[in-house]
Amino acid sequence: MRALVLALVLAGLVGLLALASLGVGPVPLGPGGVIAGLFDASGSPAAMIVQEIRLPRTLLAILVGASLGLSGAALQGLLLNPLAEPGVVGVSASAAFGAVIAFYFGLASLHPLALPVGGMAGALAAGAALRALAGAEGSALALILAGVAVNALAAALTALALNLAPSPYAALEIVFWMMGSLADRSLVHVGLAAALMAPGWVLIASAARGLDALALGPEAARSLGVGLALLNWRVVAGTALAVGAAVSFTGGIAFVGLVVPHLLRPLVGHRPGRLLMPSALGGAALLLAADLAVRLIPTAAELKIGVLTALIGAPFFLRLILGARRTLP
């Protein structure tokens, strides 16, 4: 019941933030103007602003934030480590490398699917590498160490692509994309993102019962009939699909998958399965709030949302590390 109430509260918060996101910008619109713009088919300026500029940005923030929050909660439950998030196991960096390859060879300008396909290919390659390095029933430590190796390799290959970029302008385009942004996206991007993320969400959601059992320990999970190899595959593959698609459309957005599950865990009784839905809604709310912030912060050029989440998340991560160190004997 507590998890359901929390989910309803977070869903309401997402709705309020989405309404604010549709109204905030160089041309501010009140709630009435937003609703009128959503359903206006006459092509008025308000309708174009809401439907073509702000609605895709808002929907993409919800989809990407939900994917990052959901994946972070699942990985923390799988690895039994509250410091885990998609970046820890190399999925985000590998997805970014796959998308960078699409930029590097000019494929992104040839077909709208090239960028997401590249990102998801990189993420799935990371998942396959994790499975090969850590084994079918890899321990939490083995998965983390394999993730560190995959992360380092993906970062090195991305740096190599930047170093060998055919022109400074191509390198600059890649760097700006890697900072993360929700701007200049269309409803076509939103539809593609939703279609590519949905299989990942289904895989992660199907692992909820197994994650609850794993919280009791690997042996207890086996005694309850949970196949750890299948559980690992569901979470890693689901994360690769959801996060790979997210990174492909927005670039790098860090720490959402770390911060949100950690904040919500005490409210759901520390059960990983019950944490999944609240984390998805919390991730959507956090990314909507961050996107509102980058539009409201007075800067000459709009601040990249990936930069803002990193500025917020890095101190939070350091606080978690210091807190964990104090609890060690």
User: What is the per-residue pLDDT for 132?
Assistant: 81
Write down the pTM of the prediction: 0.91
Percent of the chain at pLDDT exceeding 70: 97
Res. 118 pLDDT band, cuts 50 70 90: confident
Q: Which of 108, 4, 119 is nearest to 67 (CA)?
A: 119
The stretch 83-112 carries a mean pLDDT of 84
Which residue has better confidence, 112 or 253? 253
Among 3-12, 82-91, 177-186, 224-233, name the one with the lowest average pLDDT: 82-91
Residue 328 has pLDDT above 50, yes or no: no
pLDDT at position 160, please?
92
Residue range 29-79, pLDDT digits in tens: 988 889 999 988 888 888 999 999 999 999 999 999 999 999 999 999 988
Query: So what's the pLDDT on residue 326?
Result: 60
**Average model confidence (pLDDT) across the chain:** 88
Q: According to the model, what pLDDT value does residue 88 have?
A: 75
pLDDT, greater one: 165 or 67? 67
For each of the domains in the chain, give its residue range(s) and CATH number, in order of start. 2-19+58-324 (1.10.3470.10)
